[in-house]
Amino acid sequence: MVIGLDSCSKSNNNGGSNTGTPIDVGSGDTGILNFAYALEQLEAAFYTQVATSFYSGISSAEQAILTDIMYHEVIHRNFFKAALGSNAIAALEVDFSAVDFTSRTSVLNTAKALEDTGVSAYNGAGAYIMNADYLTLAGKIVSVEARHASAIRDLLNPKSADFAGDDVVNPTSGLDFSRTPNSTTGGPSIVATANMFLKTKISATKLP
């Protein structure tokens, strides 16, 4: 046992790609960590596919960056799987049919969306985490996702303000965007955004 999550209530794996019923991430700290695990599964799968066949004309610098990010997301995903143990949700089947992996623009814009979503998800979940150790772990990951987001955004528009643009960092408060899983403030919910890239849908009915 790694973190002691086994004693928490199990997530309700009441669905899958067979039935079309979403897999619910569960409640409480287990639910939040499974939600994070779901997002990391998505990112890990995305960057793994990117790294399997890099887009046309990729520079060696960009290849190194995307390889690093792939490493990090796979590490994050595998970490959550190990930490959650028997409370982990199933492996999710992804759907990247909307992405053109041969196109730099398509790949980087998808990466940007995934990273920004990840940052906002961790930021929005923090206040709902009960266990201080889990909060610390989430904190250790979210800043790395923000480093990713900054780098991807800069690749898309070098040396502009986009690395921490006004579209994602409030220019008055200097605060990054943060959202709870089901909040639709400012756009589709994080759950809805994730489900755009998932054959196996998730839900977070017991989370805010």
Partner 1 sequence: MNANKLLETLDKEISHSSLSRRDALTKGLNFGIKSALTAIPFALLFKPNKALAGTGDATLVLQVLNFALTLEYLESSFYTMGLSSNGLVPSSDTTVISQISKHETAHVTLLKTTITSLMGTPVAEPTFDFTAGGMFPDVFTNYQTFLTLANAFEDTGVRAYKGQAGNLQSNPMVLTAALDIHSVEARHASEIRRIRGNKGWITGASTPGVPNAVYGPGNPVASFPAEDNTMQGGVDVTTLVSFPSSASTEAFDEPLDMNTVLSIAGPFIKM
Using CB under 8 A, list all residues that contact partner 1. 2-3, 65, 68, 71-72, 74-76, 78-79, 82-83, 119, 122-124, 126-128, 132-133, 135-137, 139-151, 154, 159-161, 163-165, 169-178
The token pair at 126 is: 């923090």
Whole-number minimum distance, CB 3 to partner 1, in Å? 5
Whole-number minimum distance, CB 123 to partner 1, in Å? 5
Q: How far apart are CA 86 and CA 11, in angstroms?
A: 9
Q: How far apart are CA 126 and CA 171, in angstroms?
A: 22
Whole-number minimum distance, CB 44 to partner 1, in Å? 10
Whole-number minimum distance, CB 30 to partner 1, in Å? 14
| Cβ nearer to partner 1, comparing 99 with 144 | 144
| Cβ nearer to partner 1, comparing 101 with 128 | 128
| Cβ nearer to partner 1, comparing 68 with 95 | 68
| Cβ nearer to partner 1, comparing 137 with 204 | 137
Residue 24: in which H helix or E strand, if any? strand 23-24
Tell me which long-range contacts 95-101 makes (C-beta under 8 A, separation of at least 24): 95/196, 95/197, 95/198, 95/199, 96/45, 96/46, 96/49, 96/197, 98/196, 98/197, 99/46, 101/49, 101/50, 101/53, 101/55
Whole-number minimum distance, CB 19 to partner 1, in Å? 31
| Cβ nearer to partner 1, comparing 76 with 201 | 76
| Short-list 148, 146, 136, CA closest to 71 | 148
- Which residue shows structure tokens 């999550």? 5
